[in-house]
Chain A
Protein backbone atom coordinates (compact mmCIF):
# COMPACT_ATOMS: atom_id res chain seq x y z
CA UNK A 1 0.00 0.00 0.00
CA UNK A 2 1.12 3.48 -0.76
CA UNK A 3 1.94 5.56 2.25
CA UNK A 4 1.89 9.27 1.74
CA UNK A 5 3.04 11.19 4.78
CA UNK A 6 1.21 14.25 3.52
CA UNK A 7 -2.18 12.56 3.23
CA UNK A 8 -4.89 14.56 4.91
CA UNK A 9 -6.35 13.67 8.26
CA UNK A 10 -9.64 12.86 6.56
CA UNK A 11 -8.01 10.27 4.31
CA UNK A 12 -6.32 8.78 7.32
CA UNK A 13 -9.65 8.46 9.10
CA UNK A 14 -11.28 6.87 6.07
CA UNK A 15 -8.45 4.39 5.79
CA UNK A 16 -8.03 3.55 9.46
CA UNK A 17 -11.57 3.65 10.87
CA UNK A 18 -11.86 -0.12 11.56
CA UNK A 19 -9.08 0.42 14.07
CA UNK A 20 -11.03 2.91 16.15
CA UNK A 21 -13.40 0.69 18.17
CA UNK A 22 -10.55 -1.41 19.54
CA UNK A 23 -8.31 1.61 20.15
CA UNK A 24 -11.15 3.42 21.89
CA UNK A 25 -11.87 0.39 24.04
CA UNK A 26 -8.26 -0.14 25.11
CA UNK A 27 -7.14 3.45 25.56
CA UNK A 28 -10.47 4.52 27.02
CA UNK A 29 -10.12 1.94 29.75
CA UNK A 30 -6.47 2.84 30.24
CA UNK A 31 -7.30 6.51 30.82
CA UNK A 32 -10.22 5.67 33.08
CA UNK A 33 -8.00 3.33 35.12
CA UNK A 34 -5.41 6.06 35.62
CA UNK A 35 -7.94 8.75 36.50
CA UNK A 36 -9.90 6.52 38.88
CA UNK A 37 -6.73 5.25 40.56
CA UNK A 38 -5.47 8.79 41.12
CA UNK A 39 -8.85 10.05 42.38
CA UNK A 40 -9.44 7.09 44.67
CA UNK A 41 -6.00 7.12 46.23
CA UNK A 42 -6.06 10.88 46.77
CA UNK A 43 -9.40 10.91 48.57
CA UNK A 44 -10.79 9.40 51.73
CA UNK A 45 -13.84 7.55 52.94
CA UNK A 46 -14.85 10.43 55.20
CA UNK A 47 -16.36 13.30 53.23
CA UNK A 48 -14.98 15.97 55.59
CA UNK A 49 -11.54 16.15 53.95
CA UNK A 50 -11.16 18.01 50.68
CA UNK A 51 -10.29 16.12 47.50
CA UNK A 52 -6.53 15.97 47.02
CA UNK A 53 -5.34 14.44 50.27
CA UNK A 54 -2.51 12.08 51.07
CA UNK A 55 -4.34 10.65 54.07
CA UNK A 56 -4.82 7.24 52.45
CA UNK A 57 -1.08 6.95 51.94
CA UNK A 58 -0.38 8.18 55.48
CA UNK A 59 -2.80 5.65 56.86
CA UNK A 60 -1.11 3.01 54.74
CA UNK A 61 2.36 3.76 56.03
CA UNK A 62 1.09 3.48 59.59
CA UNK A 63 -0.47 0.10 58.94
CA UNK A 64 1.51 -2.97 60.00
CA UNK A 65 -0.34 -5.06 57.42
CA UNK A 66 1.09 -2.85 54.70
CA UNK A 67 4.61 -3.01 56.14
CA UNK A 68 4.68 -6.79 56.17
CA UNK A 69 3.07 -6.99 52.72
CA UNK A 70 5.65 -4.58 51.30
CA UNK A 71 8.57 -6.48 52.83
CA UNK A 72 7.08 -9.81 51.70
CA UNK A 73 6.63 -8.55 48.15
CA UNK A 74 10.17 -7.18 47.95
CA UNK A 75 11.63 -10.45 49.25
CA UNK A 76 9.33 -12.43 46.94
CA UNK A 77 10.51 -10.45 43.91
CA UNK A 78 14.20 -10.30 44.81
CA UNK A 79 14.39 -14.05 45.42
CA UNK A 80 11.86 -15.19 42.85
CA UNK A 81 13.06 -13.34 39.75
CA UNK A 82 16.61 -14.82 39.72
CA UNK A 83 15.18 -18.25 40.57
CA UNK A 84 12.87 -18.08 37.56
CA UNK A 85 15.84 -17.09 35.42
CA UNK A 86 17.93 -20.01 36.70
CA UNK A 87 15.08 -22.50 36.32
CA UNK A 88 14.41 -21.23 32.79
CA UNK A 89 18.10 -21.39 31.92
CA UNK A 90 18.47 -24.98 33.14
CA UNK A 91 15.42 -26.17 31.21
CA UNK A 92 16.44 -24.20 28.11
CA UNK A 93 19.94 -25.73 28.18
CA UNK A 94 18.41 -29.20 28.56
CA UNK A 95 16.21 -28.69 25.49
CA UNK A 96 19.02 -27.01 23.56
CA UNK A 97 21.44 -29.87 24.02
CA UNK A 98 18.89 -32.59 23.35
CA UNK A 99 18.67 -34.00 19.86
CA UNK A 100 16.65 -37.09 20.60
CA UNK A 101 12.91 -36.30 20.58
CA UNK A 102 13.62 -32.63 21.11
CA UNK A 103 10.15 -31.47 20.07
CA UNK A 104 8.48 -33.90 22.44
CA UNK A 105 10.67 -32.85 25.37
CA UNK A 106 10.01 -29.20 24.68
CA UNK A 107 6.28 -29.89 24.58
CA UNK A 108 6.50 -31.74 27.90
CA UNK A 109 8.36 -28.81 29.44
CA UNK A 110 5.55 -26.49 28.29
CA UNK A 111 2.93 -28.39 30.31
CA UNK A 112 3.12 -26.21 33.47
CA UNK A 113 2.09 -23.25 31.35
CA UNK A 114 -0.98 -25.17 30.21
CA UNK A 115 -2.13 -25.79 33.78
CA UNK A 116 -4.21 -22.88 35.09
CA UNK A 117 -2.41 -21.03 37.89
CA UNK A 118 -5.37 -21.65 40.19
CA UNK A 119 -5.08 -25.41 39.63
CA UNK A 120 -1.36 -25.34 40.46
CA UNK A 121 -2.14 -23.37 43.58
CA UNK A 122 -4.93 -25.80 44.47
CA UNK A 123 -2.62 -28.79 44.07
CA UNK A 124 -0.05 -27.19 46.38
CA UNK A 125 -2.92 -26.41 48.76
CA UNK A 126 -3.70 -30.13 48.87
CA UNK A 127 -0.07 -31.32 49.00
CA UNK A 128 0.96 -28.91 51.76
CA UNK A 129 -2.14 -29.56 53.80
CA UNK A 130 -1.93 -29.50 57.60
CA UNK A 131 -1.66 -31.83 59.48
CA UNK A 132 -2.04 -34.47 56.73
CA UNK A 133 -0.85 -33.81 53.24
CA UNK A 134 1.83 -35.50 51.21
CA UNK A 135 4.64 -33.15 52.16
CA UNK A 136 4.09 -33.41 55.90
CA UNK A 137 3.90 -37.21 55.58
CA UNK A 138 7.12 -37.19 53.56
CA UNK A 139 9.03 -35.01 56.01
CA UNK A 140 7.72 -36.98 59.01
CA UNK A 141 9.44 -40.01 57.55
CA UNK A 142 6.29 -41.99 56.81
CA UNK A 143 7.66 -43.15 53.46
CA UNK A 144 10.57 -45.55 53.55
CA UNK A 145 12.39 -43.73 50.74
CA UNK A 146 12.83 -40.52 52.72
CA UNK A 147 14.31 -39.96 56.21
CA UNK A 148 12.34 -38.25 58.95
CA UNK A 149 13.22 -34.55 59.07
CA UNK A 150 10.59 -33.19 61.43
CA UNK A 151 8.76 -34.50 64.51
CA UNK A 152 5.51 -32.57 64.25
CA UNK A 153 3.66 -31.61 61.06
CA UNK A 154 4.29 -28.08 59.80
CA UNK A 155 1.41 -25.63 59.32
CA UNK A 156 2.66 -24.43 55.95
CA UNK A 157 0.03 -21.82 55.30
CA UNK A 158 0.13 -20.18 58.72
CA UNK A 159 3.87 -19.53 58.84
CA UNK A 160 4.93 -16.44 56.93
CA UNK A 161 8.21 -17.98 55.74
CA UNK A 162 6.69 -21.27 54.53
CA UNK A 163 3.62 -19.60 53.02
CA UNK A 164 5.86 -17.35 50.91
CA UNK A 165 8.05 -20.34 50.09
CA UNK A 166 5.25 -22.52 48.72
CA UNK A 167 3.73 -19.56 46.83
CA UNK A 168 7.12 -18.99 45.24
CA UNK A 169 7.48 -22.69 44.46
CA UNK A 170 4.14 -22.72 42.63
CA UNK A 171 4.88 -19.49 40.81
CA UNK A 172 8.27 -20.70 39.56
CA UNK A 173 6.98 -24.12 38.55
CA UNK A 174 4.09 -22.68 36.63
CA UNK A 175 5.98 -19.83 34.86
CA UNK A 176 9.23 -21.68 34.13
CA UNK A 177 8.22 -22.42 30.48
CA UNK A 178 7.98 -18.71 29.69
CA UNK A 179 11.55 -18.02 30.81
CA UNK A 180 12.61 -21.23 29.07
CA UNK A 181 11.09 -20.21 25.73
CA UNK A 182 12.64 -16.74 25.78
CA UNK A 183 16.09 -18.11 26.66
CA UNK A 184 15.75 -20.94 24.15
CA UNK A 185 15.06 -18.40 21.41
CA UNK A 186 18.25 -16.60 22.46
CA UNK A 187 20.25 -19.83 22.47
CA UNK A 188 18.96 -20.86 19.06
CA UNK A 189 20.11 -17.59 17.56
CA UNK A 190 23.76 -18.27 18.51
CA UNK A 191 25.88 -19.31 15.55
CA UNK A 192 27.15 -22.89 16.21
CA UNK A 193 30.40 -21.97 14.41
CA UNK A 194 31.34 -19.95 17.48
CA UNK A 195 31.37 -23.10 19.61
CA UNK A 196 33.37 -24.87 16.95
CA UNK A 197 35.97 -22.15 17.06
CA UNK A 198 36.05 -22.01 20.85
CA UNK A 199 36.36 -25.77 21.14
CA UNK A 200 39.20 -25.90 18.61
CA UNK A 201 41.01 -23.27 20.61
CA UNK A 202 40.64 -25.45 23.68
CA UNK A 203 38.05 -23.56 25.70
CA UNK A 204 36.56 -25.65 28.51
CA UNK A 205 32.81 -26.17 28.85
CA UNK A 206 32.62 -23.71 31.72
CA UNK A 207 34.65 -21.15 29.80
CA UNK A 208 32.40 -21.56 26.76
CA UNK A 209 29.33 -21.12 28.96
CA UNK A 210 30.59 -17.96 30.67
CA UNK A 211 32.30 -16.30 27.68
CA UNK A 212 30.04 -17.29 24.79
CA UNK A 213 26.60 -18.35 25.92
CA UNK A 214 25.96 -15.85 28.70
CA UNK A 215 27.16 -12.72 26.84
CA UNK A 216 25.30 -13.71 23.67
CA UNK A 217 21.99 -14.44 25.37
CA UNK A 218 22.26 -11.37 27.59
CA UNK A 219 19.34 -9.67 25.77
CA UNK A 220 17.17 -12.74 26.44
CA UNK A 221 18.28 -12.74 30.07
CA UNK A 222 17.39 -9.07 30.34
CA UNK A 223 13.91 -9.63 28.96
CA UNK A 224 13.34 -12.59 31.28
CA UNK A 225 14.37 -10.49 34.28
CA UNK A 226 12.18 -7.58 33.20
CA UNK A 227 9.04 -9.56 32.40
CA UNK A 228 9.36 -11.91 35.36
CA UNK A 229 10.04 -9.17 37.90
CA UNK A 230 6.84 -7.39 36.85
CA UNK A 231 4.95 -10.67 37.31
CA UNK A 232 6.51 -11.10 40.76
CA UNK A 233 5.54 -7.63 41.97
CA UNK A 234 1.91 -8.13 41.00
CA UNK A 235 1.57 -11.76 42.06
CA UNK A 236 -1.90 -12.54 43.36
CA UNK A 237 -3.25 -16.02 42.85
CA UNK A 238 -0.60 -18.14 44.61
CA UNK A 239 -0.47 -16.13 47.86
CA UNK A 240 -4.25 -15.73 47.67
CA UNK A 241 -4.80 -19.48 47.77
CA UNK A 242 -1.74 -20.56 49.72
CA UNK A 243 -0.59 -18.02 52.23
CA UNK A 244 -3.66 -17.17 54.27
CA UNK A 245 -3.10 -13.99 56.22
CA UNK A 246 0.56 -13.65 55.14
CA UNK A 247 0.00 -11.16 52.37
CA UNK A 248 1.78 -9.74 49.35
CA UNK A 249 0.78 -6.35 47.94
CA UNK A 250 -1.52 -8.10 45.45
CA UNK A 251 -3.48 -9.90 48.13
CA UNK A 252 -3.41 -6.81 50.35
CA UNK A 253 -5.40 -4.97 47.67
CA UNK A 254 -8.03 -7.71 47.91
CA UNK A 255 -7.99 -7.51 51.73
CA UNK A 256 -8.46 -3.73 51.80
CA UNK A 257 -11.09 -3.72 49.07
CA UNK A 258 -13.17 -6.84 49.68
CA UNK A 259 -12.26 -7.39 53.32
CA UNK A 260 -12.37 -3.88 54.74
CA UNK A 261 -14.33 -2.16 51.96
CA UNK A 262 -11.73 0.59 51.71
CA UNK A 263 -11.25 1.37 48.02
CA UNK A 264 -9.01 4.36 48.80
CA UNK A 265 -6.34 2.37 50.58
CA UNK A 266 -6.61 -0.41 47.97
CA UNK A 267 -6.00 2.17 45.24
CA UNK A 268 -3.05 3.58 47.20
CA UNK A 269 -1.48 0.10 47.39
CA UNK A 270 -2.04 -0.28 43.64
CA UNK A 271 -0.22 3.01 43.01
CA UNK A 272 2.70 1.95 45.22
CA UNK A 273 2.84 -1.36 43.34
CA UNK A 274 3.07 0.47 40.01
CA UNK A 275 5.81 2.73 41.40
CA UNK A 276 7.73 -0.36 42.60
CA UNK A 277 7.43 -1.91 39.13
CA UNK A 278 8.70 1.24 37.42
CA UNK A 279 11.63 1.61 39.85
CA UNK A 280 12.63 -2.06 39.62
CA UNK A 281 12.42 -1.95 35.81
CA UNK A 282 14.77 1.03 35.75
CA UNK A 283 17.18 -0.69 38.16
CA UNK A 284 17.22 -3.88 36.06
CA UNK A 285 17.76 -1.96 32.81
CA UNK A 286 20.61 0.06 34.34
CA UNK A 287 22.33 -2.96 35.86
CA UNK A 288 22.00 -4.96 32.64
CA UNK A 289 23.70 -2.07 30.86
CA UNK A 290 26.57 -2.15 33.36
CA UNK A 291 26.90 -5.95 33.13
CA UNK A 292 26.94 -5.72 29.35
CA UNK A 293 29.76 -3.18 29.44
CA UNK A 294 31.81 -5.36 31.78
CA UNK A 295 31.25 -8.52 29.72
CA UNK A 296 32.06 -6.93 26.39
CA UNK A 297 35.17 -5.16 27.64
CA UNK A 298 36.70 -8.35 28.95
Chain B
Protein backbone atom coordinates (compact mmCIF):
# COMPACT_ATOMS: atom_id res chain seq x y z
CA UNK B 1 0.00 0.00 0.00
CA UNK B 2 2.73 2.40 0.96
CA UNK B 3 4.56 2.23 -2.34
CA UNK B 4 1.58 2.59 -4.60
CA UNK B 5 0.06 5.44 -2.63
CA UNK B 6 3.25 7.39 -2.80
CA UNK B 7 3.18 7.12 -6.57
CA UNK B 8 -0.52 7.78 -7.06
CA UNK B 9 -1.81 10.43 -4.64
CA UNK B 10 -5.02 9.61 -2.82
CA UNK B 11 -8.23 11.13 -4.11
CA UNK B 12 -9.12 14.39 -2.39
CA UNK B 13 -12.21 12.95 -0.71
CA UNK B 14 -10.22 10.08 0.72
CA UNK B 15 -7.56 12.49 1.89
CA UNK B 16 -10.14 14.53 3.79
CA UNK B 17 -11.54 11.43 5.47
CA UNK B 18 -8.06 10.28 6.35
CA UNK B 19 -7.00 13.66 7.66
CA UNK B 20 -10.08 13.97 9.84
CA UNK B 21 -9.48 10.45 11.12
CA UNK B 22 -5.99 11.46 12.22
CA UNK B 23 -7.32 14.65 13.79
CA UNK B 24 -10.00 12.76 15.69
CA UNK B 25 -7.43 10.23 16.92
CA UNK B 26 -5.06 12.99 18.06
CA UNK B 27 -8.01 14.63 19.82
CA UNK B 28 -8.93 11.37 21.59
CA UNK B 29 -5.35 10.93 22.77
CA UNK B 30 -4.60 14.52 23.74
CA UNK B 31 -8.05 15.61 24.97
CA UNK B 32 -7.76 13.90 28.36
CA UNK B 33 -4.23 15.28 28.78
CA UNK B 34 -5.56 18.76 28.10
CA UNK B 35 -8.37 18.29 30.62
CA UNK B 36 -5.90 17.13 33.26
CA UNK B 37 -3.73 20.21 32.80
CA UNK B 38 -6.82 22.43 32.66
CA UNK B 39 -8.08 21.12 36.01
CA UNK B 40 -4.67 21.59 37.60
CA UNK B 41 -4.58 25.30 36.71
CA UNK B 42 -8.24 25.94 37.54
CA UNK B 43 -9.22 28.39 40.23
CA UNK B 44 -11.90 27.42 42.73
CA UNK B 45 -14.69 29.26 40.88
CA UNK B 46 -14.02 27.20 37.73
CA UNK B 47 -14.55 23.95 39.64
CA UNK B 48 -17.37 24.77 42.04
CA UNK B 49 -19.43 26.59 39.47
CA UNK B 50 -22.72 26.47 41.37
CA UNK B 51 -24.83 25.07 38.54
CA UNK B 52 -23.04 26.87 35.71
CA UNK B 53 -21.33 24.53 33.21
CA UNK B 54 -17.70 23.87 34.02
CA UNK B 55 -15.68 26.07 31.65
CA UNK B 56 -13.44 24.43 29.07
CA UNK B 57 -10.78 26.98 29.97
CA UNK B 58 -10.59 28.20 33.59
CA UNK B 59 -12.02 31.65 34.30
CA UNK B 60 -8.85 32.69 36.06
CA UNK B 61 -6.02 30.30 35.19
CA UNK B 62 -3.63 30.13 38.10
CA UNK B 63 -0.64 28.16 39.26
CA UNK B 64 -1.51 28.76 42.90
CA UNK B 65 -2.37 25.10 43.53
CA UNK B 66 1.17 24.15 42.48
CA UNK B 67 2.71 26.65 44.85
CA UNK B 68 0.41 25.29 47.58
CA UNK B 69 1.51 21.76 46.70
CA UNK B 70 5.20 22.63 46.79
CA UNK B 71 4.85 24.26 50.18
CA UNK B 72 3.11 21.21 51.61
CA UNK B 73 5.35 19.09 53.82
CA UNK B 74 3.21 15.98 53.27
CA UNK B 75 3.78 16.20 49.53
CA UNK B 76 7.55 16.35 50.00
CA UNK B 77 7.43 13.34 52.29
CA UNK B 78 5.59 11.12 49.78
CA UNK B 79 7.74 12.49 46.96
CA UNK B 80 10.87 11.47 48.90
CA UNK B 81 9.34 8.05 49.63
CA UNK B 82 8.66 7.53 45.92
CA UNK B 83 12.18 8.58 44.96
CA UNK B 84 13.86 6.49 47.67
CA UNK B 85 11.88 3.39 46.73
CA UNK B 86 12.31 3.88 42.98
CA UNK B 87 16.08 4.52 43.16
CA UNK B 88 16.65 1.59 45.52
CA UNK B 89 14.62 -0.66 43.23
CA UNK B 90 16.78 0.47 40.32
CA UNK B 91 19.92 -0.31 42.33
CA UNK B 92 18.81 -3.73 43.48
CA UNK B 93 17.42 -4.86 40.14
CA UNK B 94 20.51 -3.67 38.25
CA UNK B 95 22.74 -5.45 40.78
CA UNK B 96 20.88 -8.70 40.21
CA UNK B 97 19.92 -8.21 36.58
CA UNK B 98 23.08 -6.95 34.87
CA UNK B 99 25.26 -10.00 35.69
CA UNK B 100 22.43 -12.30 34.59
CA UNK B 101 21.94 -10.34 31.37
CA UNK B 102 25.71 -10.47 30.78
CA UNK B 103 25.73 -14.27 30.99
CA UNK B 104 22.58 -14.76 28.91
CA UNK B 105 23.61 -12.17 26.33
CA UNK B 106 27.24 -13.22 25.91
CA UNK B 107 27.37 -16.98 26.38
CA UNK B 108 25.31 -19.68 24.78
CA UNK B 109 25.08 -21.66 28.00
CA UNK B 110 23.05 -24.88 28.02
CA UNK B 111 19.56 -24.35 29.39
CA UNK B 112 19.45 -20.75 28.15
CA UNK B 113 16.07 -21.10 26.43
CA UNK B 114 14.45 -22.67 29.49
CA UNK B 115 15.75 -19.88 31.69
CA UNK B 116 14.43 -17.19 29.30
CA UNK B 117 11.05 -18.87 29.16
CA UNK B 118 10.98 -19.08 32.96
CA UNK B 119 11.79 -15.37 33.27
CA UNK B 120 8.91 -14.46 30.94
CA UNK B 121 6.49 -16.71 32.78
CA UNK B 122 7.35 -14.99 36.07
CA UNK B 123 6.24 -11.73 34.50
CA UNK B 124 3.05 -13.20 33.06
CA UNK B 125 1.80 -14.29 36.46
CA UNK B 126 -0.84 -11.74 37.49
CA UNK B 127 0.52 -9.37 40.12
CA UNK B 128 -2.82 -9.03 41.88
CA UNK B 129 -2.76 -12.84 42.37
CA UNK B 130 0.82 -12.96 43.62
CA UNK B 131 0.44 -10.01 45.97
CA UNK B 132 -1.34 -11.97 48.75
CA UNK B 133 1.34 -14.69 49.07
CA UNK B 134 4.09 -12.08 48.93
CA UNK B 135 2.50 -9.95 51.64
CA UNK B 136 2.13 -13.07 53.81
CA UNK B 137 5.76 -13.97 53.16
CA UNK B 138 6.93 -10.45 53.97
CA UNK B 139 4.94 -10.47 57.21
CA UNK B 140 6.80 -13.66 58.16
CA UNK B 141 10.14 -12.13 57.13
CA UNK B 142 9.38 -8.92 59.03
CA UNK B 143 9.68 -6.64 56.00
CA UNK B 144 5.96 -5.92 55.70
CA UNK B 145 5.22 -2.18 55.89
CA UNK B 146 8.86 -1.23 55.35
CA UNK B 147 10.74 0.43 52.50
CA UNK B 148 12.67 -2.79 51.99
CA UNK B 149 9.50 -4.81 51.39
CA UNK B 150 8.24 -2.44 48.69
CA UNK B 151 11.72 -2.27 47.13
CA UNK B 152 11.99 -6.07 47.03
CA UNK B 153 8.56 -6.34 45.40
CA UNK B 154 9.35 -3.70 42.79
CA UNK B 155 12.65 -5.44 42.06
CA UNK B 156 10.74 -8.64 41.48
CA UNK B 157 8.53 -6.86 38.94
CA UNK B 158 11.38 -5.06 37.20
CA UNK B 159 13.99 -7.81 37.09
CA UNK B 160 12.59 -9.66 34.03
CA UNK B 161 12.64 -6.39 32.05
CA UNK B 162 16.14 -5.51 33.18
CA UNK B 163 17.36 -8.94 32.12
CA UNK B 164 15.63 -8.76 28.73
CA UNK B 165 16.77 -5.23 27.89
CA UNK B 166 20.24 -6.10 29.22
CA UNK B 167 20.50 -9.23 27.06
CA UNK B 168 19.81 -7.06 24.02
CA UNK B 169 22.49 -4.60 25.11
CA UNK B 170 25.15 -7.28 25.59
CA UNK B 171 24.19 -9.18 22.43
CA UNK B 172 24.77 -6.10 20.30
CA UNK B 173 28.45 -5.94 21.31
CA UNK B 174 30.72 -7.63 18.72
CA UNK B 175 32.15 -10.90 20.01
CA UNK B 176 35.59 -10.02 18.60
CA UNK B 177 36.10 -7.31 21.18
CA UNK B 178 35.81 -9.73 24.05
CA UNK B 179 38.07 -12.28 22.39
CA UNK B 180 40.72 -9.66 21.70
CA UNK B 181 40.68 -8.65 25.34
CA UNK B 182 41.17 -12.29 26.29
CA UNK B 183 44.06 -12.63 23.85
CA UNK B 184 45.70 -9.59 25.40
CA UNK B 185 45.54 -11.33 28.75
CA UNK B 186 42.57 -9.69 30.45
CA UNK B 187 40.67 -12.00 32.76
CA UNK B 188 36.91 -12.33 32.67
CA UNK B 189 36.21 -9.73 35.32
CA UNK B 190 38.48 -7.15 33.66
CA UNK B 191 36.89 -7.85 30.28
CA UNK B 192 33.45 -7.29 31.75
CA UNK B 193 34.31 -4.12 33.65
CA UNK B 194 36.57 -2.46 31.08
CA UNK B 195 35.14 -3.61 27.72
CA UNK B 196 31.61 -5.00 27.87
CA UNK B 197 29.98 -2.93 30.59
CA UNK B 198 30.90 0.52 29.15
CA UNK B 199 29.58 -0.54 25.73
CA UNK B 200 26.33 -1.84 27.21
CA UNK B 201 25.64 1.35 29.18
CA UNK B 202 23.08 2.91 26.78
CA UNK B 203 20.90 -0.20 26.87
CA UNK B 204 21.38 -0.64 30.60
CA UNK B 205 20.44 3.00 31.16
CA UNK B 206 17.16 2.32 29.38
CA UNK B 207 16.60 -0.65 31.69
CA UNK B 208 17.33 1.55 34.72
CA UNK B 209 14.94 4.26 33.54
CA UNK B 210 12.30 1.64 32.87
CA UNK B 211 12.71 0.24 36.39
CA UNK B 212 12.49 3.71 37.89
CA UNK B 213 9.23 4.38 36.05
CA UNK B 214 7.80 1.01 36.94
CA UNK B 215 8.42 1.66 40.62
CA UNK B 216 7.33 5.30 40.34
CA UNK B 217 3.82 4.48 39.12
CA UNK B 218 3.41 1.01 40.63
CA UNK B 219 0.31 0.75 42.78
CA UNK B 220 -0.72 -2.79 43.71
CA UNK B 221 2.35 -3.97 45.63
CA UNK B 222 3.01 -0.59 47.21
CA UNK B 223 -0.62 -0.48 48.35
CA UNK B 224 -0.78 -3.98 49.83
CA UNK B 225 2.66 -3.71 51.42
CA UNK B 226 2.36 -0.30 53.03
CA UNK B 227 -1.33 -0.08 53.91
CA UNK B 228 -1.55 1.15 57.50
CA UNK B 229 1.84 2.87 57.41
CA UNK B 230 1.13 6.26 55.86
CA UNK B 231 4.66 7.49 56.49
CA UNK B 232 6.03 5.18 53.80
CA UNK B 233 3.27 5.91 51.26
CA UNK B 234 4.44 6.61 47.73
CA UNK B 235 2.99 9.35 45.54
CA UNK B 236 0.47 7.02 43.89
CA UNK B 237 -0.86 5.82 47.24
CA UNK B 238 -1.05 9.37 48.54
CA UNK B 239 -3.02 10.49 45.49
CA UNK B 240 -5.44 7.60 45.84
CA UNK B 241 -5.83 8.22 49.56
CA UNK B 242 -6.94 11.83 49.21
CA UNK B 243 -9.27 11.40 46.23
CA UNK B 244 -12.49 11.96 48.20
CA UNK B 245 -11.12 14.62 50.54
CA UNK B 246 -9.18 17.10 48.44
CA UNK B 247 -10.37 19.47 45.66
CA UNK B 248 -10.11 18.39 42.05
CA UNK B 249 -7.44 20.91 41.12
CA UNK B 250 -5.13 19.51 43.78
CA UNK B 251 -5.76 15.93 42.58
CA UNK B 252 -4.98 17.07 39.04
CA UNK B 253 -1.84 18.95 40.05
CA UNK B 254 -0.49 15.86 41.84
CA UNK B 255 -1.45 13.79 38.78
CA UNK B 256 0.54 16.13 36.55
CA UNK B 257 3.57 15.87 38.86
CA UNK B 258 3.21 12.08 38.82
CA UNK B 259 2.97 11.95 35.01
CA UNK B 260 5.69 14.42 34.02
CA UNK B 261 8.76 12.25 34.69
CA UNK B 262 7.00 9.30 33.08
CA UNK B 263 6.18 11.22 29.89
CA UNK B 264 9.68 12.69 29.60
CA UNK B 265 11.50 9.42 30.22
CA UNK B 266 9.13 7.35 28.10
CA UNK B 267 9.82 9.56 25.10
CA UNK B 268 13.54 9.12 25.86
CA UNK B 269 13.45 5.33 25.94
CA UNK B 270 10.74 5.03 23.27
CA UNK B 271 12.96 2.93 21.01
CA UNK B 272 13.52 0.31 23.68
CA UNK B 273 9.90 0.39 24.72
CA UNK B 274 8.67 -0.24 21.19
CA UNK B 275 11.07 -3.16 20.85
CA UNK B 276 9.99 -4.51 24.23
CA UNK B 277 6.30 -4.34 23.40
CA UNK B 278 6.66 -5.99 20.01
CA UNK B 279 8.70 -8.90 21.36
CA UNK B 280 6.08 -9.41 24.04
CA UNK B 281 8.38 -8.88 26.98
CA UNK B 282 6.72 -5.62 27.97
CA UNK B 283 3.11 -4.76 28.58
Contacts and interface: CB of A to CB of B under 8 A. Distances in A.
Contacts of B262: 114-116
Interface residues of A, number: 92
B53 A15 contact: no
A44 B28 CA distance: 48
Contacts of A122: 239-240, 243, 251-252, 255
A195 B5 CA distance: 10
B110 A12 contact: yes
A30 B104 CA distance: 20
Contacts of A25: 96, 155-156, 159
7 contacts: A96-B2, A119-B217, A119-B259, A123-B255, A192-B3, A196-B4, A254-B224
A22 B99 contact: yes
A3 B278 contact: no
Interface string B1-38: 11111100000000000100110011011101101100
Given A1-B107, A22-B97, A115-B263, A108 B30 contact: yes
B129 A37 contact: yes
B251 to A, nearest CB: 6
B240 A118 contact: yes
Interface in B219-257: 219-220, 223-224, 227, 236, 239-240, 243, 248, 251-252, 255
B26 to A, nearest CB: 6
Interface of A: 1, 3, 5, 7, 12, 15-16, 18-19, 21-23, 25-27, 29-30, 32-37, 40, 90-91, 94, 96-99, 105, 107-120, 122-123, 125-127, 129, 132-134, 137, 142-143, 173, 178, 181-182, 185, 192-193, 195-196, 199, 208, 223, 227, 230-231, 233-234, 236-237, 240-241, 250, 253-254, 257-258, 263, 266-267, 270-271, 273-274, 277
B110 A273 contact: no
The interface size bin for chain B is 35 or more
A116 B33 CA distance: 12
A190 B160 CA distance: 30
Contacts of B134: 29, 32-33, 36
Interface in B88-117: 95-97, 99-100, 102-104, 106-110, 115
A105 B22 contact: yes
Contacts of A129: 248
